Structure 1
Amino acid sequence: MATDQEMKSEFKRSGFKLVEEDEILKRCVTLCINYSLTPSELVSSWELYHLNRQCIDQTVTKDEIDGFIVHLHNQQKEAILKEASGLHIYSHRDVDMLLDGIPEDTEEVIVTTPTNKSQRLHPDPFDSVNRSKDYGYSSAKSAGHVTPFGRRVDKFVVKFSLGDATANAENGNKNDVESSEDDMIIKRVQTSHRCSLKVNGSGPEPGCRFMYDRTEDRFNALENRIRKHADAFAASGLYEEQVDPAVASQRSIFAVGMICCDGEGHLNDKSILLQSSAMRTSGQRVPLDLNRLNQFSIFPGQIVGIEGQNPSGHYLTASKLLDSVPLTATPDVDLPPAKKQNLDQEVLAVADESREKSEVSFVIASGPFTTSDNLMFEPLNELLAYVKRKPPQLLVLLGPFVDSEHPEIKKGTVDATFDEIFQIEVIRKLQDYVEFMGSEVRVVLVPSIRDANHDFIFPQPPFNIRIPDLEHQMTSLSNPGTFEANQVKVGCCTVDVLKHLSGEETSKNPSGVPIDRMSRLASHLLRQQSFYPLYPPPESLPYDSSLAPKALQIPSIPDILLLPSDMRYFVKVLSIGEGEDAAKCVCVNPGRLAKGEGAGTFVELTYNGGPESMHASIISI
């Protein structure tokens, strides 16, 4: 049974300060009893609730408890519905089905292979109304049925804006949505100049051999990460000579190693271990005491530099923790230089390589691209209608495209292959878009491990897209992947690394100092120079150690970092380093284009040389 003291210690360990402590603890203990939760589980749920509300203040007030109770109730309801797979919740859609005149004996449909492919594939991929009659996976809706997504009132409303430029979205103007064909031609003529595009080729290639990694591969991947960071600290010349942290010493020492957890649970101040390099030192794990530090943020798999003392040889007491590799670090000599594919028809001159960054306009959206009640891909249709009216130089689409978590996909009730859905609902529409808009626009696709039509592996190879005459306008990256548009470096990863880090991170912050946790989580990737620095990864992630060393490395801080997440959308400017030498990076979480049966968000971003002259808007679709 939970006690007030246990609850208080869990909140304190997570960095939260309680206002009106007695009242809050009393209500939290009651919640633990009512929802059968431990204090640790309750505080973890509070952290998720706190992050989704994007609260900067790390305080808990009794006024927030009522909203938290609703959050817990929804979590429990979702868990019950997930366990009861045979349970059916009746809604307005069941009534609509009966009113449409569908006989009762058609509830259980026997899925067969259509004799004519045209019976499944509708003639116009942009026609969402007639699809229900022609396409096999239309969720049995009549032609006149209006989906919850189609009933939304406000379209293209700016949720958040960053920069000096005035937001230029429609803000709910429905007249612009019904643009005429003549207006579309005028917009196409006014499209800005085409941007250059170079794709970094350090990720896996299509058709690569995966899931054959050995224990040796996993060991070498971790050992090389520790060694690389140790070399970077040594090359900076700012720190003492590195020694073995497991060897007893009466003087202050400096050591580099990886944060580990002593057990399978959540990292806490009693279970922190430091694992050093096996090649340079003993490779042993030594308990790490961080109680003397006023501020830190650590997670399993993080490579850190530690200044401290270990007089007995059994416990390293830290006086300083360094979680960032010096920016002057030299590249890893063991890794070959990344190949870059120039996707321009003309070959850039050597002089162009050193030119200053020019302006680039982006529209960035992350899947799912269809709502959970059908496979009509209405959000994607709306997004393409928007970029036809306001064409960016680069349209970046982040998976999943054919979401393996979609109810219809999970139940296997569709009568088309996953690849057919992808080709018709995504590729064909994008092909029509670039052909209509001309050579000025480009499209970049990044897969997700949730894509049902692609390899279930991380790091992940790109989609194998081969369209004659359009290969310079439509391209796919690996996951994670990097590219350059007009010399602007962009990195992206569709695995929800922010959510994974949020569940494993342990931090301590000075009291009274506001903390932006989302910025801190995103900064971990840049400080660790890795798209996925967490180790061990969760069981749900198909992590391949033989592919990871090259593909996950961030050799230099990008100008823009795209990290789609289930957490609340944001656009933030991250600063790595100190003083005038600090490097800045724009981190973007566009949110999901579709959320359940409703609309989600996407990002419109114009980057002109640096974050100071950038404008970004988060727009609800």
Structure 2
Amino acid sequence: MPELSEIVSQFTSLGIDLDDEAAATCLDLCLRYSLDEESFVNSWIAFSFSSLGGADPSKENLEAFEKKELANIKTPKRSSTASHLQVYSTGSAKQISVHSADSFTPPRPGTSGISHTSSKKLNFSPLVFTPEVYTPSEKFNGRKNSGQTVSTLGKSFYEWKSTAYDVNISMYNPTDTSGWKFFYDTVMVTSNHLEERFEFLADEIVAANNLEKPTPFKHCGLDVMTFRGRICPYDKAKKSKQLNSIEIQGMFESDYAVMELDVSEVDNFAIFPGQVIVFEGVLVGKNIRAKKLYSSAVQKVAPPPTIQKPVQILVAAGPFALSDTLSYEPLNELIDLVKKDQPNILVLVGPLVDATHPKIAQGQIAETFSDYYSRMVQRIGDALDGLKIKVVVIASSKDANNLPVFPTPPAVDHSYKNVKFFPDPSLLFIEGLVLGVTSVDALFHLGKHELSNCQTNRLARLAAHMVGQRSFYPLYPPEPEVCMDVVAWARQAQLSVTPHIMILPSDLHGFIKEVDSGCISLNPGKLTKGLVGGTYALIEVRPVHSDEEWKVSSHVSSKIVRI
């Protein structure tokens, strides 16, 4: 029941002082229209600013509020009959009363809430309003290419049986993700972070290629000089035919002036918006005729890992459910494979609960996204409990229970038994092995905007951009689907070291390529592709024997396999 003191307190917290007459009127309105104190105050504030210019709640203003807003409210009568809305549990498709609080509590593993069929399939589906949401996919179950190898790298694998030992997994650069704040900075702070990042990278490119100190854009002449800048956004369809007018923004010494860059005479170039380059050319007026471009500031690869036994890693990237159902058959089969082959590490790259899945986007699940996500992860952990398999879950901005921002904090701020959660992107440290991983499709985004006349392998070149620009996401401005916080990006999405392996899930064709300075880039594909199954990747890292030198080319094997 509404109380006068609480109404006064709600207004006071907003800096509004009520006189006794206005307070009594507010209480009367709350009682007559069955409103709690907070709802009443929120409704008043909205009305006041939209109709009264933010006026205080006097008796006259409250009467106007009642006539225009509250009089339209029809107080619902309590129904003596039970609601017809039903909630379904996936395992047996039984109806659950919505009046039971226990109906929405995920059943504990091992209880009767989980259906144990003869095939002992795990139940990853949510509580739903209609059982059709988790109807098994006939197309997926009838496929013929399961287990087919798509791509390989390195020597043939040893027998894939776990060496049954625990491996330590941590962040290469530990970051406290519990207090992340997003879009909390002024435009000036954001701009400064961008400038600092771009100028630092330009200096590193100069040092890596032993170039002369860059010249400001102000110096015209016929001599070939060294300049530096950042590629500005462009229309790829137009600029592919107009290579003499690519806009480039200078750095501090050039007062951030924008010039036109002519790359038509450059033998080999590959550029994209946001790319930091150092180039040699001739400046004439507002146009620079480039002769040679430098865009790579590749660092040395991380030191060799200290592993004493082979480390086996299985990598799968979401989405994990087919687009027409939430039965999660591909994830079920993946867990069966993991239990059979027992790799040391299972890396699951989000999204686990895909916000873009039609069934989820249409609001057809009957529990919170957080409860659904937690229950799914717990069942994965329980299924692998006792097998000495570490599960790594990489966050995704597409997870329905997570923040739609990049970089993305872990969806869960604690660990389950054998499951650890990491942000997106992450540099993982596994017994000295450095593994870079992100859930954002940076390869596809770069490919949409890249202009190149190179004859090299396109997929390897796109991955090399990330290593050369020392960033998990070097494209700027980002694609619209990537809600990027620049300050967090400058802190969390940069490569402080060249990893041994880069895991870059993409909608592009799966591949395994060795790129600059001994780094392997791997696109495991997605576990599902619409209505059909996709692919996952297996990685085996072998230790050094005797006096041999450890190299990714000779000590890392990998293959991409269809689920």
Give the TM-score taking structure 2 as reference length: 0.73
Work out the percentage of aligned pairs sharing the same amino acid: 28
What pairs up with 1:295-314 in 2 under 5 angstroms? 295-310=268-283, 312-314=284-286
Amino acid of the structure 1 residue aligned with 2:278: G
What is the rounded CA distance, in whole Å, between the counterparts of 1:324 and 1:133 in structure 2?
44
Paired residues for 1:342-421 under 5 Å: 355=306, 359-421=310-372
Please tell me the residue identity of whatever aligns with 1:320.
K
Counterpart secondary structure, 2:217: coil
- Structure 2 match to 1:347: none
Contact 2:233 2:273 in 1 (8 A): yes
* Bigger shift: residues 446-455 or 249-258: 249-258
Deviations 1:65-110 (A, max 9, x none): xxxxxxxxxxxxxxxxxxxxxxxxxxxxxxxxxxxxxxxxxxxxx9
Amino acid at match of 2:506: S
**Distance change (3 Å), C-alpha of 1:139 and 1:399:** farther
Aligned residue among 295, 318, 338 for 1:323: 295
State how far apart, in whole Å, the 2-side matches of 1:456 and 1:295 are: 37
* Cα distance in 1 between the residues matched to 2:102 and 2:130: 18
Deviation track 1:374-394 (CA, whole Å, cap 9, x = no partner) reads 212221111111011101111
User: Equivalent residue for 2:154?
Assistant: 163
| Cα distance in 1, alignment partners of residues 433 and 116 from structure 2 | 33
Question: How far apart, in 2, do the equivalents of 1:567 and 1:548 lie?
Answer: 24
The aligned counterpart of 2:486 is: 545
Partner of 2:80: none
**Match among 217, 231, 238 for residue 245 of structure 1:** 217
Q: Is the 8 A contact 2:125 2:328 kept in 1?
A: no
Name the residue aligned to 1:76.
Answer: none
How many residues in Structure 1 have an aligned counterpart in Structure 2? 453
1:115 aligns with 2:100: yes
Give me the whole-angstrom Cα distance separating, in 2, the residues matched to 1:545 and 1:353.
32
C-alpha displacement of 1:550: 1.2
Map of 1:477 onto structure 2: 422
Cα distance, 1:243–1:447 mapped onto 2, change above 3 Å: same
- 1:120-152 per-residue CA deviation (whole Å, 9 max, x = no partner) reads 746237769999999632852499966432333
Are 1:124 and 2:98 matched, yes or no? no
Structure 1 residue runs of 5 or longer lacking an equivalent are 1-109, 170-186, 330-351, 577-582
- SS in structure 2 at match of 1:547: helix
SS at structure 2 position matched to 1:501: helix
What runs of 5+ residues in structure 2 fail to find an aligned partner? Answer: 1-94, 108-112, 543-549
Tell me which of 526, 530, 534 is aligned to 2:475: 534
Q: Deviations over 1:402-438 (max 9, x none)?
A: 001111111111111111221222x12222134231x
Question: Is it true that 1:590 corresponds to 2:540 in the alignment?
Answer: no
Deviates more, 1:220-229 or 1:287-296: 220-229
SS of 1:408 mapped into structure 2: helix
CA RMSD in angstroms, aligned pairs only: 3.2
User: Secondary structure, in 3 states, of the residue corresponding to 1:368?
Assistant: coil
Q: Deviations over 1:565-611 (max 9, x none)?
A: 1111111111x2xxxxxx11111111111122221111111022422
Aligned position for 1:443: 391
Structure 1 counterpart SS, 2:280:
strand
What is the rounded CA distance, in whole Å, between the counterparts of 1:162 and 1:353 in structure 2?
19
User: 2:202 aligns to what SS in structure 1?
Assistant: helix
Quick check: 1:213–1:545 contact (8 Å CA) kept in 2? no
Deviates more, 1:596-605 or 1:357-366: 357-366
Q: CA deviation at 1:245?
A: 2.4
Residues 363 and 603 of structure 1 are in contact (CA less than 8 Å); yes or no, is this contact kept in structure 2? Answer: yes
C-alpha separation in 2, matches of 1:112 and 1:271:
66
Q: Does 1:615 align with 2:560?
A: no
Q: Tell me how far 1:612 sits from its aligned partner.
A: 1.8
Match of 2:261 in 1: 288
Shift in CA distance, 141/147, structure 1 to aligned 2, threshold 3 Å:
farther
Taking the aligned partners of 2:102 and 2:191, their CA distance within structure 1 comes to 50
For residues 503 and 340 of structure 2, what CA distance do their matches in structure 1 show?
24
Residues 1:125 and 1:419: Cα distance change in structure 2 (over 3 Å): farther
- Does 2:548 align with 1:603? no
Q: 2:131 aligns with which of 129, 132, 140?
A: 140
What pairs up with 1:213-292 in 2 under 5 angstroms? 213-236=185-208, 238-261=210-233, 267-268=239-240, 269-278=243-252, 280-292=253-265
Correspondence for 2:164: 192
Alignment partner of 1:208 is 2:153: no
Q: Find out whether 1:428 has 2:378 as its counterpart.
A: yes
Name the larger-Rg structure.
2
Superposition TM-score, scaled by structure 1 size: 0.67
- Paired with 1:467 and 1:327, the residues of 2 have a C-alpha distance of 33
Cα distance, 1:193–1:267 mapped onto 2, change above 3 Å:
farther
Q: Whole-Å Cα distance in 2 between the matches of residues 300 and 552 of structure 1?
A: 17
- Taking a change above 3 Å as real, the CA distance of residues 302 and 572 of structure 1, as seen in their structure-2 partners, is same
Q: 1:191 to 1:237 in 2, by over 3 A?
A: closer
- Judge conservation of contact 1:402–1:451 (CA < 8 Å) in 2: yes
Deviation of 1:222 after TM superposition, in Å, equals 2.3
* Aligned-residue offset at 1:458: 0.5
Query: Displacement, 1:271?
Result: 3.8
Distance 1:143 1:356 in 2: 43
Give distance in 2, aligned partners of 1:134 and 1:555: 39
Partner SS for 1:156: coil
Change beyond 3 A, Cα 1:540–1:114: farther
- 1:454-533 matches, within 5 Å, as 454-467=402-415, 470=417, 473-509=418-454, 513=455, 515-533=456-474
